[in-house]
Structure formats: structure tokens, C-alpha cells
Amino acid sequence: MLIVGYRGYGHSEGKPTEAGIKLDAQAVFDFAIEHEQINNDKIYVFGRSLGGAVATFLAHKKQGQIKGLILENTFTSISDMVDQIFKYLSKLKGLILRIEWDSHTLIQEISLPMLFFSGQADQLIPPIQMEKLFSGAKNSTRKEMIKIEHRTPNEP
């Protein structure tokens, strides 16, 4: 397992831009492909939230070298998230958005097996976003959605 700390997140230096994070993802992928202890025939890409957008980008770009894509509670695009979360900014988003992360468009062109984990009680990413990604994955050779219902700590 190889875990990535994107520029500007955690203890990583730099400014988090869409272009920069895409470069980070490609660099980590290239490292994995070239590493002698990593089996290139068993590379799966996983991402959650923003990481899901990064994973979708990488799967789209490198799908001939990736075995599958796994997404957990990620969004279709930043533009769609603005519409969902900041409805009052929707009319202004064309003026203020500097990033897009359009996973919905990319996922339509990916022909890998895909696994989707959707937390139905996620308070940030609306589950409808995962439903749209799942529906958009029309070229996937195999896809499955696992919906995770909210449970309180005392429920079985």
C-alpha cells in the first residue's frame, strides 16, 4: 500500500492546486511502476473525497496500467459540490471557481473494474454524487456500489 500526501495537505509543503496535485499523483504512480518490490500487475487506485477525484484522474490517464478503481464518498465535480453545499454561490461560481475536478466526465471513459463505497450519512459529500458517478461508469468492465448505512455505536 502506498499512501500519498498531496502538496499543501498534512505535512507536505507547497500550494494545493488541481494541476499540482495531478502532477503529484502521476509522480507517485511512476514511482510505484518503477519500484522493484511493487507488482505492476496488481495496482489498484483508491481515493476518498478529494482523493477520489485524484484517483479518478489517475485511473483515466493510466487505465492501461491499473487493475481497478476504488472510490469512497467522492464527488462528481467541484462545480456540483458548490451547487449542493453553497447554493447561494451557484450563480457566481463561474467567477470564483479555480478548480474543477470533473470526475463525472472522466469516469465515463474509464473501462476498469470499479468499486464504490457510499456512506449514506456522509455530512459533506451528498450520496447522490456517488450515485451519479456509479451511473456514469458505463464503460466499466465490472462495477459495484456498496452503500453504508449510518449506525449508532450501540446498534448491531
Question: 107-118 pLDDT, tens per residue?
Answer: 999 999 999 999
Say yes or no to pLDDT of 27 above 70: yes
C-alpha distances out from residue 22 to 2, 124, 127, 143, 154, Å: 16, 23, 25, 24, 41
Between 45 and 4, the more confident residue is: 45
Check if the beta carbon of residue 3 is closer than 8 Å to that of residue 54: no
Query: pTM of the entire structure?
Result: 0.90
Say yes or no to pLDDT of 155 above 90: no
Check if the beta carbon of residue 5 is closer than 8 Å to that of residue 13: no
Residue 134 is predicted with a pLDDT of 98
Across the range 123-148, mean pLDDT stands at: 95
Across the range 148-152, mean pLDDT stands at: 75
The confidence band for 152, taking pLDDT boundaries of 50, 70 and 90, is low
Three-state DSSP state, 72: strand
The residue among 109, 129, 150, 148 whose CA lies nearest residue 52 is 129
Contacts of 107 (CB under 8 A, 6+ apart): 56, 60, 114, 133, 136, 137
Q: Please, where are the H alpha helices in 35-144?
A: 50-62, 78-85, 93-96, 103-107, 127-136
